[in-house]
Amino acid sequence: INWGSSVQAHTYRRALDAILKLGTVEEHVKNFRPQALVLTGNPICRPAIIDFVSLLTHGHSLMICGNIILDDPLVNIKLCEKKDDAVNWLKKRNSKAFYSTVISPTVRQGAQALLQCAGVGKMRPNLVFMGFKNDWYSQPEHLVNDYFNIIHDALDLNLGIGILRLKSGLDFSDFFGGSDVLIDEFADDVYDVDEDDEDFISTPLNKTKMNHTNETNNVIRKIRSTDVMVLKNTIINEGALQSMNIFRQSQISSAVIDVWWLFDDGGLTLLIPYLLRRRKRWKECQLRIFSCVCGEKQAADQQHLAMASLLSKFRINYDDLHVLHGLNKQPNEYEIQKFNQLIQSLSGENTLNNESKETSSWNISASELEANKDKIKRGLRLHEMLLEYSSTSTLIIVTLPIPRKNSISCGLYMSWLESISHDLPPLLFLRGNQSNVLTYYS
Amino acid sequence: INWGSSVQAHTYRRALDAILKLGTVEEHVKNFRPQALVLTGNPICRPAIIDFVSLLTHGHSLMICGNIILDDPLVNIKLCEKKDDAVNWLKKRNSKAFYSTVISPTVRQGAQALLQCAGVGKMRPNLVFMGFKNDWYSQPEHLVNDYFNIIHDALDLNLGIGILRLKSGLDFSDFFGGSDVLIDEFADDVYDVDEDDEDFISTPLNKTKMNHTNETNNVIRKIRSTDVMVLKNTIINEGALQSMNIFRQSQISSAVIDVWWLFDDGGLTLLIPYLLRRRKRWKECQLRIFSCVCGEKQAADQQHLAMASLLSKFRINYDDLHVLHGLNKQPNEYEIQKFNQLIQSLSGENTLNNESKETSSWNISASELEANKDKIKRGLRLHEMLLEYSSTSTLIIVTLPIPRKNSISCGLYMSWLESISHDLPPLLFLRGNQSNVLTYYS
């Protein structure tokens, strides 16, 4: 006789009781956990950011993958999408993440719904992760504006923000057919990598490396052999596959995480690499901390002392601490030229297509440029330094500069982020919500 | 030394682990629980519906109070609202409910955000509760349309729906000042009732009754004494206070729940009164089940046998089972007249204010009326029967007629609901999502 399982019934009760109990717990800086909402779209298409955030939350704190499906919910809110596929994929990918979909006419509206409503009680996101829009300047302006405004919304709602940039971008949906079935098939192939991947983590490193390339080749072969229709571009190159799985690879011991701590944001920028290094794969990696001062060498030395003492109080083990000076110096010609080209191409596009008159905010005014001149310059200098020190690192974490409302437009802000982060290894812009997440008071 | 409490840290882990575990549990009809999203606005202003739903969920299943704050989130999404007030009020009211706010330009958009995003994993609402808009015909049409469409949305998203109607309406915000502080003060007064209320539940019934009226008077006195400015209408009459607390009063043993089970909706209409009667306050009450058939007495007798056997298989104890016949008969003159008046006042309003041309859907076309003639008639007959059998009951539960898309307009549907439910004791329209919540298979 199948009465339904009482164990299952109890599982529900336990979950509910636990969340209710959690409501009575006061928040304390020492109990801070990054609870992440990841704007992933269909998670199957953006494996890298999911892997990355999974490393941070690791089943120890909340992770919700949000998929905003563009459609008019006023007409039809019915969920046509098969939720199970994504949930199963997440499970197979070993990511202890929840999955939430929302149908919305614009990305921003959907993001707002998720930002405001996702979660229950105290089990709510306090940190939003997004991918960097590598191709933003060629996208329709309203999309980029939406993207820019989601950053504002998250800050307004007192959430931290992480923006991950890979050279190859994060969205691999081009490699997948449009239809669900096709994604399914491909997903199965990816699973194979996963399981093996899990296995060889525990093997010695050298062997691992070997295995891995073999595996990769295997997968490519498998994908090719199963069905050519599976992929829109029949040729999936190893590079793309590696980018897709960049945060699943077991890290070789020479991995380096560079933290560029530019503003005090409550400590999140330091907490994230700390959490990363608690994962087996990142345990052996080096952590280098960079800071910049505007003044000369003396100021840098002072700052160095202060930071070293702070970090030791926080008991954060780092391998290297650099305080760089001369952030205020003139950036080199190349950087300036590159930036000007970008700005010009933005306004240039505008003057060319006279039809699209409404794209006015692309038009970065001279006065706005003037007002933000110093910030931009520091951004360019920062990129110079990043290139100098971190161009071979495994992961760069940089404090995200905050867009002040009404003082910087979408176009200029995106150009600013672009010029800081282009042509670099995987880079995470990160910003806490200013409330402390680290403390040395006891 | 305050390191933060590890107990608190574990509370979080337990909650997260439990929800993750829950994700692996397959749904089973025998483990169905009503997980409620209650559209309450500021919960302090709608105590009755919160008390009611709390009786159903009772800390055994999820309850989320959703507050939609009308504002343009594109401009400013910052939460100006003090969430803590509402949360504290819910706690004092002994309601194990979560509280979620969303800023949205329209009620519908906010409701869609909540319907789609609230909750996490399998801890999500499967049932939406709203109050009936008693004054819908005097409201701006777009508001009523929004309301109507939320019903559609909920059904589209496969959620059950409950619509609670009190004669006095549910929204007591008129009695509260606009400002938060004032509500605060008043809320404090209400707390007093609560605590005493909780006490005298355990006392014998007679004494209870006595206490209660005393308490009520006390509160009124207190409210008056503390600050006249607390209330917009300085005179809060006992009737309003009783309506506010209608589902907190300990039920006298003569309480009667009448279930009018008109359509099969998977059993939710039967499950809800069953759950209600598991609460101490409703334990002694009578449960009467009504059903209607269109045919004559013979059909009714057959239906009676079938239902009696069904109910005994479901092991639902009822005190009375009526199967009424003649639902297809012509309703009496009074009902027809009343309905026609309502319809006319709707279209009449339209012809009067020629300025508001866009209020076209109020204009119920003759063809629409004709197409829905039989339904409406049955509704009027139903109201006749409700008056005849249930006009002195404590609570009436009626299956909610579903608005078929494109076949019934907002105005006609609302008129239909109106004419079924007016001038009756507290009435709950209820509709499951057609999936079974009861089973006798084992």
Please report the pLDDT score of residue A113 as a whole number.
Answer: 94
Please report the pLDDT score of residue B56 as a whole number.
Answer: 93
Nearest CA in chain B to A95: B20
Please report the pLDDT score of residue B364 as a whole number.
Answer: 81
Q: Which of A9, A60, A442 sits opposite B13 (nearest CB)?
A: A60
A42 or A439: which leads in pLDDT: A42
Please report the pLDDT score of residue B35 as a whole number.
Answer: 95
**Which residue reads 């007409």 in tokens?**
A75
Residue B105 has pLDDT above 60, yes or no: yes
A64-91 pLDDT, tens digit per residue, is 999 998 887 666 666 555 677 888 889 8
Over residues B43-66, mean pLDDT: 92
* Distance from C-alpha of B140 to C-alpha of B353, rounded to nearest angstrom: 13
Q: How far is CA A401 from CA A27, A74, A261, A293, in A?
A: 27, 36, 11, 15
The fold of B30-175 is Rossmann fold (3.40.50)
Question: Among B386, B417, B255, B257, which Cα is nearest to B324's?
Answer: B386
Under the banding of pLDDT at 50, 70 and 90, the label for residue B227 is very low
Under the banding of pLDDT at 50, 70 and 90, the label for residue B172 is confident
A92-149 pLDDT, tens digit per residue, is 888 899 999 998 889 999 999 999 999 998 999 999 999 999 989 888 888 999 999 9
Over residues A203-208, mean pLDDT: 33
Residue B77 has pLDDT above 80, yes or no: no
Over residues A43-70, mean pLDDT: 91
Q: Which candidate in B30, B101, B120 is best for mutational testing of the A interface (most A CBs within 10 A)?
A: B120
Q: Which of the residue ranges A215-229, B45-59, B61-75 would you say has the lowest mean pLDDT?
A: A215-229
Say if the Cβ atoms of B31 and A9 lie within 8 Å: yes
Say if the Cβ atoms of A157 and B61 lie within 8 Å: no
Say if the Cβ atoms of B22 and A2 lie within 8 Å: no
**In chain B, which among 6-25 make CB contacts under 8 A with chain A?**
8-9, 11-23, 25
| Average pLDDT over chain B, rounded to an integer | 79
Residue B379 has pLDDT above 90, yes or no: yes
Residue B191 has pLDDT above 70, yes or no: no
CB pairs under 8 A between A and B: 181
Residue A201 has pLDDT above 70, yes or no: no
Q: Do the beta carbons of residue B1 and residue A442 sit within 8 Å?
A: yes
Q: How far is B332 from chain A (nearest CA, A)?
A: 39
Say if the Cβ atoms of A76 and B119 lie within 8 Å: no
Under the banding of pLDDT at 50, 70 and 90, the label for residue A254 is confident
B15-31 pLDDT, tens digit per residue, is 999 999 998 888 788 78
Q: How far is A47 from chain B (nearest CA, A)?
A: 20
Residue B215 has pLDDT above 50, yes or no: no
Please report the pLDDT score of residue B2 as a whole number.
Answer: 58
Please report the pLDDT score of residue B45 as a whole number.
Answer: 85
**In chain A, which among 42-71 make CB contacts under 8 A with chain B?**
59-62, 64
Residue A182 has pLDDT above 80, yes or no: no
Domain extents in chain B: 30-175, 256-347+362-431
Angle at A242 between CA A64 and CA A197, to 5 degrees: 70
Please report the pLDDT score of residue A115 as a whole number.
Answer: 94
Please report the pLDDT score of residue B349 as a whole number.
Answer: 53
Chain A residues near residue B78 by CB distance under 8 angstroms: 156-157
Residue B146 has pLDDT above 60, yes or no: yes
B234 or B86: which leads in pLDDT: B86
Over residues A367-394, mean pLDDT: 92
Please enumerate in sequence order all residues whose Cβ is within 8 A of that of A298, keeping only pairs 6 or more positions apart, or say none.
Answer: none
Over residues A174-187, mean pLDDT: 44
Q: How far is CA B14 from CA A15, A141, B377, B430, in A?
A: 8, 44, 55, 35
Measured from the Cβ of residue B203, the count of other Cβ atoms closer than 10 Å reads 13
Say if the Cβ atoms of A123 and B442 lie within 8 Å: no
Please report the pLDDT score of residue A184 as a whole number.
Answer: 38
Under the banding of pLDDT at 50, 70 and 90, the label for residue B252 is low
Q: Which of the residue ranges A153-167, B92-106, B362-376 would you say has the lowest mean pLDDT?
A: B362-376
**What percent of chain B is predicted at pLDDT more than 90?**
38
**In chain B, which among 358-387 make CB contacts under 8 A with chain A?**
none
Under the banding of pLDDT at 50, 70 and 90, the label for residue A166 is very high
Say if the Cβ atoms of A25 and B8 lie within 8 Å: yes
Please report the pLDDT score of residue A401 as a whole number.
Answer: 92
Nearest CA in chain A to B148: A74
Residue A263 has pLDDT above 80, yes or no: yes
Q: How far is A422 from chain B (nearest CA, A)?
A: 30
Q: How far is B326 from chain A (nearest CA, A)?
A: 37
Please report the pLDDT score of residue B288 as a whole number.
Answer: 95
Please report the pLDDT score of residue B171 as a whole number.
Answer: 78
Q: How far is B22 from chain A (nearest CA, A)?
A: 6
Cα dihedral sign, B410-B413-B419-B421:
negative
Any B CB within 8 A of A73 CB: yes
Measured from the Cβ of residue A138, the count of other Cβ atoms closer than 10 Å reads 10
Measured from the Cβ of residue B183, the count of other Cβ atoms closer than 10 Å reads 23
Q: How far is B142 from chain A (nearest CA, A)?
A: 13
B111-140 pLDDT, tens digit per residue, is 999 999 999 989 999 999 999 999 898 888
Residue B208 has pLDDT above 50, yes or no: no
Any A CB within 8 A of B118 CB: yes
Say if the Cβ atoms of A157 and B79 lie within 8 Å: yes
* Structural class in CATH, domain B256-347+362-431: alpha beta
| Average pLDDT over chain A, rounded to an integer | 79
Any A CB within 8 A of B74 CB: yes
Q: What is the DSSP string of A366-401?
A: HHHHHHTHHHHHHHHHHHHHHHHHHTT-SEEEEEPP
Task: Classify residue B353 by burial, with Cβ atoms within 10 Å: 0-12, 13-18, 19+.
Answer: exposed
Please report the pLDDT score of residue A66 as a whole number.
Answer: 94
**In chain A, which among 144-183 make CB contacts under 8 A with chain B?**
149, 152-153, 156-158
Please report the pLDDT score of residue B357 as a whole number.
Answer: 46
Q: Do the beta carbons of residue B430 and residue B398 sit within 8 Å?
A: yes
Say if the Cβ atoms of A113 and B117 lie within 8 Å: yes
**In chain A, which among 390-419 make CB contacts under 8 A with chain B?**
none
ipTM confidence score? 0.83
